Amino acid sequence: MATDIKDSVHAVEAAAVMGLLPARPRLLALGEPTHGEDTLLDLRNELFRQLVEQEGYRTIAIESDCMAGLVVDDYVTSGTGTLDEVMEHGFSHGWGTSAANRELVRWMRAYNDGRPASERLRFAGFDGPLEITGAASPRQALTALHGCLSARVDAGLLPCTAETLDRLLGTDDRWTRPAAMMDPAQSVGQSAEAGRLRLLADDLVALLDAQTPHLITETSPDDRDRARLYGRTATGLLRYHHWMADASPARMTRLVGLRDQMMAHNLLAVAARGPALVHAHNSHLQREKSTMRMGGMPLEWWSAGALVSAQLGEEYAFVATALGTIRHQGVDAPPPDTVEGLLYALPEDRYVIDARRLATALDDPRPAPRVSPWFGYAPLDPAHLADSDGIVFVKDVPQS
């Protein structure tokens, strides 16, 4: 068995990852089993640089607010703003404080400097404007979509005025109450105003689609991509808020599924632009059903990766990341009868493994599932090794 494992191990390089795949994927998804570790983000950055230089990749998409990500994209493509401003306003979930994320943005801007638009690197956030404590107001996306259309389409075709949207939206703090995440009665998502906004958002998106031939002559591809992003985000947020106000037992399952559905729609839009590296938690990128417990309830849903894989087939590839230790979080050396334990016994500090060959080598007997003492680390599931195209293993993660 040890020989079979060693035969599946390669250095963590873009060429080794590509060697595991039948062809260059349009979306190469690199998962991580925990958040906030710059060691993993540094590895991501190096892999992205190699993919850019050796494989022609031009976009990186990360698990961050898709609307905020436009601030980063403007900076790396055209130098709009300053690096400090971009790190403060271009990331959600606190990712802007990461030294590795800052280095990624700095490097992308330096790479793009002086290059023609067709060769520039692009940045995308593909998460919705969502946090653990709730969802953003749909105001930014909805009014931006209305503004795009009102500037280029006859006013008589618009389903409403900007003033009507403003009146129906009300104050943003109505939408962003933290208590609404756990208490449906605190959500405005099923109010009469919210219901009217859902219909108007749908009509605005339909108008955007209907005016495509005209918009092609009047706007740039980037402008049209942004208008579609505004439409996806507005309708997605209004749907999310609607189900935040739902009191049925399926409420939380529906919400986590809706978040990944928004992610999937954004990833498909990224894929339409060309090959991209995608980085997020393993649970958002894996092909099998995702699971978690929230408020004592078990939740199961199809991840963004599962949804995108169903659409793209072999043009979607998923490489999971697993860790040996995160000692500053109490995650010590893995038991030797787990997948991580068997990989931990190998001499290298980090490597990429052929997941399907590994699954075959470890099939009889199948390794025991690892149990993490820290909720923030999600171990590999030995039953689903073959659902990944590869595994990146990092032996030890020092404190960031």
Let me know if 150 is exposed, middle or buried by CB neighbors in 10 A (0-12, 13-18, 19+). middle
Q: How far apart are CA 334 and CA 337, in angstroms?
A: 8
Over 153-186, what HEC string results?
Answer: CCHHHCCCCHHHHHHHHCCHHHCCCHHHHCCHHH
| pLDDT reported for residue 4 | 64
CA-angle at 275, arms to 273 and 279, nearest 5°: 105
Q: Side by side, which strands form the sheet with 59-65? A: 9-10, 350-353, 390-396, 316-325, 27-32, 276-281, 59-65, 122-127
| pLDDT reported for residue 159 | 98
Gyration radius from the chain CA atoms: 22
> Which letter, b or e, does each residue of 273-285 get, where b requires 16 or more Cβ atoms within 10 Å of its Cβ?
bebbbbbbbbbbb
Asked if 57 and 51 touch (Cβ cutoff 8 Å), the reply is yes
Instruction: Specify the pTM.
Output: 0.97
> Can you read off the two tokens belonging to residue 332?
């010590």
Cis geometry, peptide bond prior to residue 298 (ω within 30 degrees of 0): no
Q: How far apart are CA 216 and CA 64, in angstroms?
A: 29
Q: How far apart are CA 231 and CA 237, in angstroms?
A: 10
Per-residue pLDDT of the chain in tens (400 residues, 90 and over written 9): 455 677 789 999 999 999 999 999 999 999 999 999 999 999 999 999 999 999 999 999 999 999 999 999 999 999 999 999 999 999 999 999 999 999 999 999 999 999 999 999 999 999 999 987 889 999 999 999 999 999 999 999 999 999 999 999 999 999 999 999 999 999 999 999 999 999 999 999 999 999 999 999 999 999 999 999 999 999 999 999 999 999 999 999 999 999 999 999 999 999 999 999 999 999 999 999 999 988 778 999 999 999 999 999 999 999 999 999 999 999 999 999 999 999 999 999 999 999 999 999 998 889 999 999 999 999 999 999 999 999 999 999 998 6
Q: Could you tell me the sign of the dihedral formed by the alpha carbons of 183, 187, 189, 190, in that order?
A: positive
Asked if 249 and 216 touch (Cβ cutoff 8 Å), the reply is no
Q: How far apart are CA 263 and CA 127, in angstroms?
A: 5
Tell me how crowded residue 112 is: count the other CB atoms within 10 A of its CB.
19
Let me know if 80 is exposed, middle or buried by CB neighbors in 10 A (0-12, 13-18, 19+). middle
Over 210-249, what HEC string results?
Answer: HCHHHHHHHCCHHHHHHHHHHHHHHHHHHHHHHHHCCCCC
Q: How far apart are CA 42 and CA 46, in angstroms?
A: 6
Q: Could you tell me the sign of the dihedral formed by the alpha carbons of 382, 384, 389, 392, in that order?
A: negative
